[in-house]
Amino acid sequence: MAELFVPKIIGQLGDVVVKHLREKVNLVMVVDDEVRNISSKLETIEKLLHDAERRRLKEKHVGIWLEKLEDITYEMDDVLDEWNFKIQEPKNKGTHQNARMQPTLRNKLIFNDGAN
């Protein structure tokens, strides 16, 4: 009787795996397109900033604008650092907990020797 259900279950599991793989591939493709788009925009911004740096000494308002932009850049960097920390925090906690639960080689040897 079980032999009738096993192929059906395997087929369903295969369908689920294929669905998840397709979703991940689509996500990667979308992210890749976004990275290219953002990279292009950043290259344009970089060119504008080089021009502004060149004009900074001659045009006072350009210098003031660049100072404000620099302040915002530092604030953004702080926000991104905090965001990355928060993202990594659950992963690090899980790793720490998993590390504590993993038996050490010493314990494995002691308990295996005692079982023999």
Question: What are the φ and ψ backbone dihedral angles of 35, each rounded to 5 degrees?
Answer: -65, -45
pLDDT at 52 over 60: yes
Find out whether 63 and 70 touch, Cβ atoms under 8 Å: no
Percentages helix, strand, coil for the chain, rounded to the nearest 5?
Answer: 90, 0, 10
Please give the backbone phi and psi of residue 59, each rounded to the nearest 5 degrees, phi first: -120, 110
Burial class (CB in 10 A: 0-12, 13-18, 19+), 46: exposed
pLDDT at 102: 52
Q: Is the pLDDT confidence value at 49 over 80?
A: yes
The answer on pLDDT for 1 being more than 80 is no
Percent of the chain with pLDDT over 70: 74
Q: How do residues 84-94 score in pLDDT, each as one tens digit?
A: 888 888 777 76
The DSSP letter of residue 102 is S
pLDDT over 60 (residue 109) = no
pLDDT confidence band for 107 (50 / 70 / 90)? low
Q: Tell me, what's the pLDDT at 60?
A: 94
